[in-house]
Chains A and B, each alone.
Chain A
Amino acid sequence: MTEVELAPAVIQALQDVTIALGAPLVSGAVATIEARLQGRRGPRVLQPYYDLIKLFQKETVVPEGSSWVFLGAPIVAFASYLIVPLLIPVLTTYGLPLGYMGDILGGGFVLALAGFVVALAATESGAPYAQLGASRAMTFGALIEPTILFVVFAVGIITSTDLPYALAASLRTGSSEIVRPAHVLAAVAFFLVVLADTGRVPVETHSGTLEFGMIDEGRVLEHSGAPFALLKWGSAMKQLILYTILIDVFLAPWGLAASQALGPVLFAIPALLVKAIAVGTIFAFIDNSFSKLRLFKITEFLAAAFALAAMAVLIFYLGGG
């Protein structure tokens, strides 16, 4: 019996579909686990899907005086989140045809574009809280940037490429690659970056309703209806994309398909979702055990992440690899 082989384009499309359809599931599962940790029953696991369906059916209200930028931004942001899964190892250990159209930095730029257009729309709306959120998100985004750069440097030094596939591949070669300090430090630094970028404690309370504490959440306050659904969906996808990079590039690149056969590729989908929910559980646990930092103390957190990432590069030049 010969195994059914999938065309690379099909696998590539599957990567996108997995991220797009899996993201609300991961968000819902993590929200439920978080509620259980707090002794609440919490929402249903599938709640984010119902939310999205409801929002898509609602009418769209646009603030007075805002232009097409306000309505176009959610679409551009959503498109960006659909592009990034093409560049990173979501289901396979090998690069797919479009996987080489951008490296880690390319993916970072596409994610930054999404953040930029959402901030632009927030400014366009003229609402004070949306603008507050947008300006904060941009400020802290700029402070996270050096850490991401140093993580990319560390990856580049380890693999001599800047492709996420290469690091995942070198990780699977043996335990000496896993415990090498440059990798451990870069992985922890990236973990902190994900913590900050997905709007988690200690940077932001993601379930809060107080506008003064909002960073990422604040930006979308003025949106409604289908564009708002796209933004919500997009932020769930962004979370899953960051989890995927953390898991498949840094922490546990196992369970990915090594061939184009149907079986392994299909197995990789639930494997990724389970791993993502496991990582989300860790984040939920952190959420419950620490308190949110004061806004001006966030720089301390980011300085710690930067120290880790810088150390990852330095330790390499010490010969400690």
Chain B
Amino acid sequence: MPSVAPSTFAGTANVIAVIVLLTEFAMLRAPLLRSQVRLYAFQSLVVTALAVFVAATRHIDSLYVLAALSFTLKVIIVPRVVTRLLSRANVSLAGNSSLGVATMTLIAIAISVFGFFSVGALNLRSPVLPEAALAVSVGVILVAFVLIILRSDVVSQAVGFFSLENGVSMASLVVASGLPLIIDVAFLFDLMVAVVVFGVLMRIHHARNRTLSTEPLDQLRG
């Protein structure tokens, strides 16, 4: 018996969620720091699109505000700030990561499978978005961890952290899109703090070591 397709709404929402996850995979391989930041901007744009899509089809007006906020902050301001920091550091290529890209991709697939099935075991139901989108956003969070752990340059780690927030905000869209706006804004505020902290870290690291790679840190001895 052929399987029944989900509704057009659920299908579209799932596809958008999966695009966010695939952008996370693309970040694993991006060799240029600049393209890493661009990927983050693109991913944020897709999350914003998901918010607009949910707002439009489910008539939740507060989501429009959230979408506008996250667009200005995550698609325009944060990438701009990071790009400016990068242009001062004058480094364009990320250093070698500890593993090859194909290996990283396979690890990330395995880990997101783990995430998928653990969320599946929870048996959550959402009135707004299909639950598959929740599993995918957990996948985004886990792959962001993989990115932070396996890439050995400060920018990838910072971008990994920012995209973690994208995963979280996608999850909050799924489970609780009726969430009071103030909580979503608090998430965004957290992101602002993270950007400032990572900006300072990046600059100090670059000033001390003349590189954005974290390899010099491995040689520290107590």
Contact = CB atoms under 8 A, between A and B. Distances in A.
Interface in B1-50: 1-8, 10-12, 14-15, 18, 21-22, 25-26, 29
Interface in A136-172: 157-161, 166, 170
User: What band does the interface of chain A fall in when counting residues whose beta carbon is under 8 Å from B?
Assistant: 20 to 34
A254 B141 CA distance: 39
A255 interface: no
A311 B18 contact: yes
A71 to B, nearest CB: 39
A157 B3 contact: yes
B3 A185 contact: no
Contact of A299 (B1, B102, B113, B116): B102
Interface string A297-317: 001101110111011001111
Contacts of B108: 307
Nearest to A177: B5
Interface in A176-206: 176-177, 179-181, 184-185
A321 B113 CA distance: 15
A175 interface: yes
Interface stretch (B71-79, B130-138, B213-221): B130-138
A160 B18 contact: no
A176 B10 CA distance: 9
A1 interface: no
A205 to B, nearest CB: 21
Contacts of B186: none
B106 interface: yes
Contacts of A304: 25-26, 29, 105
A289 to B, nearest CB: 15
A315 B3 contact: no
B120 interface: yes
Interface residues of B, number: 37
B85 interface: no
Contact of B136 (A180, A306, A317, A318): A318
B53 to A, nearest CB: 12
A177 B26 CA distance: 26
B101 interface: yes
A311 B101 contact: no
Contacts of B12: 179
Given A304-B29, A319-B120, A179 B8 contact: yes
Given A158-B3, A181-B18, A300-B101, A310 B109 contact: yes
A160 B100 CA distance: 36
A302 B101 CA distance: 11
Contacts of B6: 176, 180, 320-321
Contact of B132 (A160, A300, A302, A320): A320
Nearest to A319: B132
B25 A307 contact: yes
Given A306-B105, A311-B18, A318 B120 contact: yes
Nearest to B7: A176
Interface string B94-138: 000000111001101100110010011000000000111101100
A105 B186 CA distance: 52
A176 B8 contact: yes
B120 A159 contact: no
A18 to B, nearest CB: 29
Of the candidates A300, A304, A307, A320, the one having the most CB atoms from chain B within 10 angstroms of its own CB is A320
Contacts of A308: 22
Contact of B106 (A157, A174, A303, A319): A303
Contacts of B102: 299-300, 302-303
B181 to A, nearest CB: 27
Nearest to A184: B15
Interface of B: 1-8, 10-12, 14-15, 18, 21-22, 25-26, 29, 100-102, 105-106, 108-109, 112-113, 116, 119-120, 130-133, 135-136
18 contacts: A160-B3, A170-B2, A170-B5, A174-B5, A180-B11, A181-B15, A185-B18, A299-B100, A300-B29, A303-B101, A306-B109, A307-B108, A311-B22, A315-B14, A320-B10, A320-B136, A321-B4, A321-B14
Q: Which 6 A-B pairs have the closest CB atoms?
A: A320-B132, A179-B11, A303-B102, A318-B132, A303-B105, A320-B14
Interface of A: 157-161, 166, 170, 174-177, 179-181, 184-185, 299-300, 302-304, 306-308, 310-311, 314-321
